[in-house]
Structure 1
Amino acid sequence: MKNRLKSHLEQALRQCYAQGRLHSGEVPEIQLDVPSHAEHGDFACNVAMLLARAEKIAPRKIAEELMAALGEGDGLWRKVEIAGPGFINFFLSNRCWYGVLDDIARAGEDYGRCHLGAGKKVQVEFVSANPTGPLHIGHGRGAATGDAVASLLEHAGYAVDREYYINDAGNQMNTLGLSLYLRYRELLGETLDFPANCYQGDYIRDLAAEVVASEGRRLLDLTEEQAVAHFARFGGERILAGIDDDLQAFGVRFDRWYSEQSLYDRGEVERGIELVRERQLAYEQDGALWFRTTAFGDDKDRVMVRSNGATTYFASDVAYHKEKFDRGYDLVIDVWGADHHGYVPRMKAVMTGLGRDPEDLQVILVQLVNLLRGGQQVAMSTRSGEFVTLREVIDEVGRDACRFFFLMRRSDSQLDFDLELAKQQSNDNPVFYVQYAHARVCSINRAAQEQGMQPPALGEVDFDRLVLDEELVLAKRLAQFPETIAAAAQSFAPHRVVFYMQELAAQFHSYYNRNRVITDDPETTRARLYLANCVRIVLRNALRVLGVSAPERM
């Protein structure tokens, strides 16, 4: 809709220049906004005010010239008027709005897709939890966010890869190996003090019990260094397999699982350090190697290699992000927990230091989840008897509710997740409310078929039968879906799609509760069925973007 209006305005502007009615020859980026008051039209444009300085005449005079050149608009609008200092307000025709229904019927599951990305390559890296324990609900919110952002970008015409970065190098893996080894020895009868800095969860004891069952006492013959390395490999592999199972249950897939250890094995970390040295981006001080991140806006320089020769996480992150762009990505998106916000400036500094535009790296921060049950705080500890793992939340409330709830708010704002509300089959449950709107249209279709009627096909509807204000409001809302997807993709904000669906569902439920879709008049029934099924298509498409199902019965 907006694109058609913009095209008419650009054509009118060029006509004014060609006829000498305007003289600057400028064709600015035309912006169309939805006025806050309906009496000001469907769209307002300020192009006349943008051109006033170049043309050296009053904006209203420019607006008058543009209006004269616009003509009738091929039925796109019913009225155009000038308001205030020179706004051009468009009042679109009802037939134009209802023509959107044909666009939806024609495009089907592709309605809402666009070519904004023009095939640019994007990598979205998300979850990337250390393979030292099961995923918790915070990881779940990051998984839902990353997967939905990737889906949005795909719908906006980007070529997207999803990647999980496995933090399988460094101290946390040694700690995992030691934790399992000590529990293994305990299960074989030793009495020992279990260190507070080791992993405490019951899953550690369960994994150690598996080793006892399969290996018996054999591993006691290993040196501690050998045993810790063995248990670290075993535990990491088993925990990562469990993470993969949980994510599959959550409907999340990855195109690549990327090992941090592989960066070391292939010499990528060392090559990254050498590149930093060659570009004189690093210096030695107190026996350590420091990256000059302050030269690119960070608050202090960062250590890459400690004085004892050990590399830091920062060193492998430099190598990893360099390697991402070496693979040909135009844009890299990292989804991190909000506690990593201080890490963003240094990684932006790395991008600049490596010769990339820092905007080529975008970081989405995900805030904590406040878990409730019936409005009461759930203790966030496995020892309390309450669960906090992602899998347990999925098992209790279901994948759809889990994903929908995680995406209801901006990712960088705190989220209250009420388990009891997520299970309710009532209008108070937002995911039920949206899904029920889709199921309700499917129910209407079944009722129509029982009476020998089929939903009309493209071109078989008399839109003059849609005379209610509520029907026009629904058509206008449906027309907003493509720009909602585009805006959500540009801002990496899947919650915008949730808001859109909630508004559309509310409008449809209200319409259905006040009006019969299947009426005594066949032509009115066909038109209303057509409208209802366009609502169904858009709700299904929007739910699919978020990885949520669109049930036909509820």
Structure 2
Amino acid sequence: MTPAALADLVRSSAVQVLAARGIDDAILPEQVTIERPRNPEHGDYATNLAMQVGKKAGMNPREFAVELAAVLAGADGIDAADVAGPGFLNLRLAADAQGEVISQVLSAGDGYGLGDALAGTKINLEFVSANPTGPIHLGGTRWAAVGDALGRMLSAQGAAVTREYYFNDHGAQIDRFARSLIAAAKGEPAPEDGYAGGYISDIAAEVIRQEPSALSLPEAECQETFRRIGIDLMFAEIKQSLHDFGTDFDVYFHENSLHENGEVARLVAELKDNGKLYEEDGAWWLRSSDYGDDKDRVVIKGDGNPAYIAGDIAYFHDKRSRGFDLCIYMLGADHHGYIARLKAAAAAFGDDPAVVEVLIGQMVNLVSEGKPVRMSKRAGTVITMEDLVGAVGVDAARYELIRYSVDSALDVDLDLLRKHSNDNPVYYVQYAHARLSSLQRNAADLGLKLDPNADLGLLTHQREGELIRTIGEFPKILRKAAELREPHRVARYLEELAGAFHRVFAVRELKILPQGDDEATPQNHARLVLCEATRQVLANGLSLLGVSAPERM
């Protein structure tokens, strides 16, 4: 019996209790909360339903819990229902009912854990969107891992997700980038406000290789040549780095296109006409303070040029015109002020600000031998995605960046991630999968086939029950991770699942495979099925993180 099935059973039993007293069951919550007790001795699962509805039913919560326990005690699959404290209900499942979870995993395979909570929702998920003026730094690398994982989890809940990269190829930073390339091509130091690093010299040399006469062109034409070719080269490198990191996008949207096709100018004119912009001191301002921003924002500067927010406004409008129900922006720690202004832009177009959702990711630092790592081989003082991947590999980098909430700053310990030990979280989870895969190979060598009809009611040991209940939590964990935009919940769950499996393996009497010349017992077959279900869930979870599930380590 899955937690979801148990929740339905508890609710239907509560309906019976209320009906016996002539009370309308409308007082019951739509979803009954089922939790695993911290102390397994209290039971397999617990619910506080009586605490929620007892008084609404005109009953003492404990009295309601006692009557509910009496109904549940006679239900199929329930071994015991005990009331605790002021009205908590502890439930213990029959062994065969617990085994139903394992059968569901084997039947669903790669689809176990998927849900439909977001079915019919069209989501635009924009992340990374690093400026095309240098390699992806650690902050962008964190978003590449977390954003890709979040996209997978939203899709796993039925959403139609478009992963989008907003390419900031318009504005002053692009001009500085071009001037930096020209300086490097001439063998001169980088401009004071420009970019430095080995990558600038590499790109400058490639521009000259493609356009040998670039430096002899008139100044404006030279600037445009280095801008055009340099940006293409930098962006191609960014795309390749992301692809090698396991992160690909459905759409690469160019900011410059919004200016070139006149969309920025058209929408600014529309906002002027409907009074959402006003003129002051020669500039045009968005009335963003009317929509929760701390101040109004300049959209068109006094010199007539659009401010950065002008592109943001046009970009949001473009997303909505493409039919997205929800626009999720994943931005860096220095973009906190964008939350209010993006919601204000939505409101200015008559939209519900709730269609805009902004996630802010905090900084990432590398640590080795207890000291910060500050220098990059190619990018000077900025540590890049390539630096991290080169140090620990894609799997370890992705897992480590995903397993923490993005709300907190993160120190990545390179020495820990290089270890092949249980102290290394990604190794701990991947090793559990490899160990389970090895079990299946060893079983095959013994001539044992996976028996889908094995008697799972034989899995009565406390450690086996703990593992089964942990497996049963996966759909709920995945749904919550998508709902709260917190992929780290899946990573932490996988560590819990790996731990539950390792604890089963550590119990001597729980022999998974027959020893020596012994014949396979029904318990062996049941445990082998349990192990395969565990392996499947580990594989499913790692896939959602974009991390490999090795069969050998």
Give the TM-score category using the shorter length. Answer: over 0.9
Shift of 1:549: 0.5
Pairing partner for 2:52 from 50, 53, 56? 50
Shift of 1:145: 0.7
Report the equivalent of 1:307: 302
Deviations 1:223-275 (A, max 9, x none): 21221111111110000000011011001111010000111122221232133
What is the CA–CA distance in structure 2 between the aligned matches of 1:416 and 1:180, rounded to whole Å?
33
Q: 3-state SS of the aligned residue for 1:320?
A: helix
Pairing partner for 2:499 from 486, 489, 506? 506
Report the equivalent of 1:99: 100
Q: Following superposition of structure 1 onto structure 2, how do residues 296-445 of structure 1 map, counting pairs within 5 Å?
A: 296-382=291-377, 388-445=383-440
* Identical residues among aligned pairs (%): 40
Bigger CA drift: 478-487 or 265-274?
A: 265-274
Given that residues 79 and 91 in structure 1 are in contact (C-alpha distance below 8 angstroms), is that contact kept between their aligned partners in structure 2? Answer: yes
What is the CA–CA distance in structure 1 between the aligned matches of 2:463 and 2:19, rounded to whole Å?
43
What is the CA–CA distance in structure 2 between the aligned matches of 1:173 and 1:166, rounded to whole Å?
11
What is the CA–CA distance in structure 1 between the aligned matches of 2:209 and 2:126, rounded to whole Å?
37
Q: 3-state SS of the aligned residue for 2:186?
A: helix
1:462 aligns with 2:455: yes
Report the equivalent of 1:78: 79
Q: 3-state SS of the aligned residue for 1:152?
A: helix
**Which residue type is aligned with residue 340 of structure 1?**
H
Shift of 1:135: 1.2
Q: Do the aligned partners of residues 174 and 412 (structure 1) sit closer, same or farther apart at CA in structure 2, a change above 3 Å counting?
A: same
Report the equivalent of 2:170: 169
Given that residues 338 and 412 in structure 1 are in contact (C-alpha distance below 8 angstroms), is that contact kept between their aligned partners in structure 2? Answer: no
Q: 3-state SS of the aligned residue for 2:76?
A: helix
**Which residue type is aligned with residue 44 of structure 1?**
A
Bigger CA drift: 435-444 or 368-377?
A: 368-377
Report the equivalent of 1:294: 289
1:210 aligns with 2:216: no
What is the CA–CA distance in structure 2 between the aligned matches of 1:193 and 1:463, rounded to whole Å?
72
Bigger CA drift: 204-213 or 28-37?
A: 28-37
1:492 aligns with 2:488: no
What is the CA–CA distance in structure 2 between the aligned matches of 1:28 and 1:393, rounded to whole Å?
47
What is the CA–CA distance in structure 2 between the aligned matches of 1:5 and 1:447, rounded to whole Å?
35
Q: 3-state SS of the aligned residue for 2:547?
A: coil
Deviations 1:338-380 (A, max 9, x none): 1111221221222233333322222222211111223322124
Q: 3-state SS of the aligned residue for 1:446?
A: helix
TM-score, structure 1 as length reference? 0.93
Given that residues 52 and 62 in structure 1 are in contact (C-alpha distance below 8 angstroms), is that contact kept between their aligned partners in structure 2? Answer: yes
**Which residue type is aligned with residue 162 of structure 2?**
D
What is the CA–CA distance in structure 1 between the aligned matches of 2:75 and 2:319, rounded to whole Å?
48
Given that residues 403 and 546 in structure 1 are in contact (C-alpha distance below 8 angstroms), is that contact kept between their aligned partners in structure 2? Answer: yes
Q: 3-state SS of the aligned residue for 1:252?
A: coil
Q: 3-state SS of the aligned residue for 2:506?
A: helix
What is the CA–CA distance in structure 2 between the aligned matches of 1:465 and 1:219, rounded to whole Å?
77
**Which residue type is aligned with residue 310 of structure 2?**
A
Given that residues 19 and 25 in structure 2 are in contact (C-alpha distance below 8 angstroms), is that contact kept between their aligned partners in structure 1? Answer: no
Q: Do the aligned partners of residues 376 and 38 (structure 1) sit closer, same or farther apart at CA in structure 2, a change above 3 Å counting?
A: same
What is the CA–CA distance in structure 2 between the aligned matches of 1:106 and 1:201, rounded to whole Å?
54
Shift of 1:385: 8.0
**Which residue type is aligned with residue 497 of structure 2?**
L
Given that residues 378 and 386 in structure 1 are in contact (C-alpha distance below 8 angstroms), is that contact kept between their aligned partners in structure 2? Answer: no
Report the equivalent of 2:145: 144
What is the CA–CA distance in structure 1 between the aligned matches of 2:389 and 2:29, rounded to whole Å?
50
**Which residue type is aligned with residue 167 of structure 1?**
N
Bigger CA drift: 518-527 or 142-151?
A: 518-527
**Which residue type is aligned with residue 256 of structure 1?**
V
Report the equivalent of 2:249: 254
What is the CA–CA distance in structure 2 between the aligned matches of 1:90 and 1:475, rounded to whole Å?
15
Shift of 1:280: 1.8
What is the CA–CA distance in structure 2 between the aligned matches of 1:67 and 1:471, rounded to whole Å?
25
Q: Do the aligned partners of residues 425 and 552 (structure 1) sit closer, same or farther apart at CA in structure 2, a change above 3 Å counting?
A: same
Q: Do the aligned partners of residues 512 and 35 (structure 1) sit closer, same or farther apart at CA in structure 2, a change above 3 Å counting?
A: closer
Given that residues 17 and 25 in structure 1 are in contact (C-alpha distance below 8 angstroms), is that contact kept between their aligned partners in structure 2? Answer: no
1:274 aligns with 2:263: no
What is the CA–CA distance in structure 2 between the aligned matches of 1:57 and 1:21, rounded to whole Å?
13
What is the CA–CA distance in structure 2 between the aligned matches of 1:131 and 1:404, rounded to whole Å?
26
1:8 aligns with 2:9: yes
Q: 3-state SS of the aligned residue for 1:304?
A: strand
What is the CA–CA distance in structure 1 between the aligned matches of 2:116 and 2:45, rounded to whole Å?
23
Q: 3-state SS of the aligned residue for 1:160?
A: strand
Given that residues 73 and 80 in structure 2 are in contact (C-alpha distance below 8 angstroms), is that contact kept between their aligned partners in structure 1? Answer: no
Shift of 1:433: 1.2
Q: 3-state SS of the aligned residue for 1:73?
A: coil
What is the CA–CA distance in structure 2 between the aligned matches of 1:234 and 1:384, rounded to whole Å?
19
Report the equivalent of 2:528: 529
Bigger CA drift: 31-40 or 521-530?
A: 31-40
Shift of 1:221: 3.5
Report the equivalent of 1:33: 35
Given that residues 44 and 88 in structure 1 are in contact (C-alpha distance below 8 angstroms), is that contact kept between their aligned partners in structure 2? Answer: yes
Q: 3-state SS of the aligned residue for 2:284?
A: strand
What is the CA–CA distance in structure 1 between the aligned matches of 2:148 and 2:216, rounded to whole Å?
45
Bigger CA drift: 237-246 or 85-94?
A: 85-94
What is the CA–CA distance in structure 2 between the aligned matches of 1:419 and 1:489, rounded to whole Å?
29
Report the equivalent of 1:544: 543
Shift of 1:87: 2.9
Q: Do the aligned partners of residues 387 and 286 (structure 1) sit closer, same or farther apart at CA in structure 2, a change above 3 Å counting?
A: closer
Bigger CA drift: 160-169 or 77-86?
A: 77-86
What is the CA–CA distance in structure 1 between the aligned matches of 2:14 and 2:450, rounded to whole Å?
43
Q: 3-state SS of the aligned residue for 1:123?
A: strand
**Which residue type is aligned with residue 540 of structure 2?**
N
What is the CA–CA distance in structure 2 between the aligned matches of 1:200 and 1:338, rounded to whole Å?
23
Bigger CA drift: 442-451 or 157-166?
A: 442-451
Pairing partner for 1:245 from 240, 255, 262? 240
What is the CA–CA distance in structure 2 between the aligned matches of 1:346 and 1:404, rounded to whole Å?
32
Bigger CA drift: 518-527 or 245-254?
A: 518-527
Q: 3-state SS of the aligned residue for 1:33?
A: coil
Q: 3-state SS of the aligned residue for 1:97?
A: helix
Given that residues 63 and 87 in structure 1 are in contact (C-alpha distance below 8 angstroms), is that contact kept between their aligned partners in structure 2? Answer: yes
Q: Do the aligned partners of residues 502 and 49 (structure 1) sit closer, same or farther apart at CA in structure 2, a change above 3 Å counting?
A: closer
Shift of 1:444: 1.3
What is the CA–CA distance in structure 1 between the aligned matches of 2:379 and 2:207, rounded to whole Å?
27
Deviations 1:277-314 (A, max 9, x none): 23322211000011111111111110000000010111
1:201 aligns with 2:201: no
Given that residues 433 and 550 in structure 2 are in contact (C-alpha distance below 8 angstroms), is that contact kept between their aligned partners in structure 1? Answer: yes
Deviations 1:47-86 (A, max 9, x none): 33433444333233433444455562222x1122333333
What is the CA–CA distance in structure 2 between the aligned matches of 1:377 and 1:279, rounded to whole Å?
52
Report the equivalent of 1:189: none
What is the CA–CA distance in structure 1 between the aligned matches of 2:192 and 2:293, rounded to whole Å?
34
Given that residues 374 and 421 in structure 1 are in contact (C-alpha distance below 8 angstroms), is that contact kept between their aligned partners in structure 2? Answer: no
What is the CA–CA distance in structure 2 between the aligned matches of 1:514 and 1:241, rounded to whole Å?
53
Q: 3-state SS of the aligned residue for 1:32?
A: coil
1:475 aligns with 2:468: yes
Given that residues 278 and 285 in structure 2 are in contact (C-alpha distance below 8 angstroms), is that contact kept between their aligned partners in structure 1? Answer: yes
